[in-house]
């Protein structure tokens, strides 16, 4: 009996090793493979403007908007499967029914709704040598969209754009992709020209 107790005790002591306790792995996000930028010219019979955009975006013309026909045939998305993102673009002809001031107010109404969920909204005035001016609204925090913008000549043409990701708003993990796409939006604005 003593031999059995001694054997069990030795076996128990031998099986006890002093390994350090396990440490959980740090939280990580999936690695994003950023595509190479190569510009493509946007031109459409329905749209009175042109601009350059990266070739990893595809143009999707909007034929319906919440089950109805869009206000203008020049409503489209720039969609990137690679980055799981869309830039929604809506064109308006400035008129008595849609004066410039109303279109700007509408852009800010949408921005203010998004700003309710964000931590901060920054407004950046933009313009280019082609006479295109406008405003970029950037949001930080858990907002549905990290960026909205509008471009106009203030007399005839008005274009609204907004960036959305096809995923839950995760500001930390989306921040590098958002910064990458901001460069694309800056390229769109710099090359934008009314026809």
d(CA 184, CA 147): 12
pLDDT of the chain, 195 residues: tens digit per residue: 677 766 666 666 666 666 666 777 666 666 778 899 899 999 899 999 999 999 999 999 877 666 777 778 999 999 999 999 999 999 999 999 899 999 999 999 999 888 888 888 899 999 999 989 999 999 988 888 999 999 999 999 999 999 999 887 676 778 889 999 999 999 999 999 998
Q: Name all domains of the chain by residue range, CATH numbers in brackets.
A: 38-194 (3.40.1000)
Report yes or no: 92 and 74 within 8 Å, Cβ to Cβ. no
Residue 32 CA from chain centroid, whole number: 15
Q: DSSP letter string over 76-94?
A: EEEEETTTTEEEEEEEEE-
For the CA atoms of 104, 126, 62, 113, the dihedral, rounded to the nearest 10 degrees, stands at -50
| Percentages (nearest 5) of helix, strand, coil residues in the chain | 25, 35, 40
Nearest to 134 by CA among 148, 145, 121: 148
């Amino acid at each position: 009996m003593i031999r059995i107790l001694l054997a069990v005790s030795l076996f128990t002591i031998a099986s006890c090793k002093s390994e350090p306790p396990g440490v959980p792995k740090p939280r990580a996000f999936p690695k994003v493979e950023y595509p190479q930028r190569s510009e493509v010219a946007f031109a459409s019979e329905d749209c009175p403007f042109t601009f350059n955009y990266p070739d990893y975006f595809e143009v999707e013309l909007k034929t319906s908007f919440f089950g109805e026909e869009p206000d203008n045939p020049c409503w489209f998305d720039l969609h990137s499967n690679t980055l799981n993102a869309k830039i929604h673009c809506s064109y308006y002809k400035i008129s008595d029914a849609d004066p410039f001031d109303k279109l700007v107010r509408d852009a800010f109404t949408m921005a203010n709704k998004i700003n309710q969920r964000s931590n901060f909204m920054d407004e950046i005035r933009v313009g280019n040598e082609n006479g295109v001016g406008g405003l970029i609204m950037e949001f930080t925090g858990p907002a549905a969209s990290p960026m909205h913008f509008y471009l106009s000549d203030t007399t005839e043409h008005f274009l609204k754009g907004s960036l959305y990701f096809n995923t839950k708003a995760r500001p930390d993990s989306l921040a590098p992709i958002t910064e990458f796409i901001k460069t694309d939006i800056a390229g769109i604005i710099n090359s934008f020209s009314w026809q």
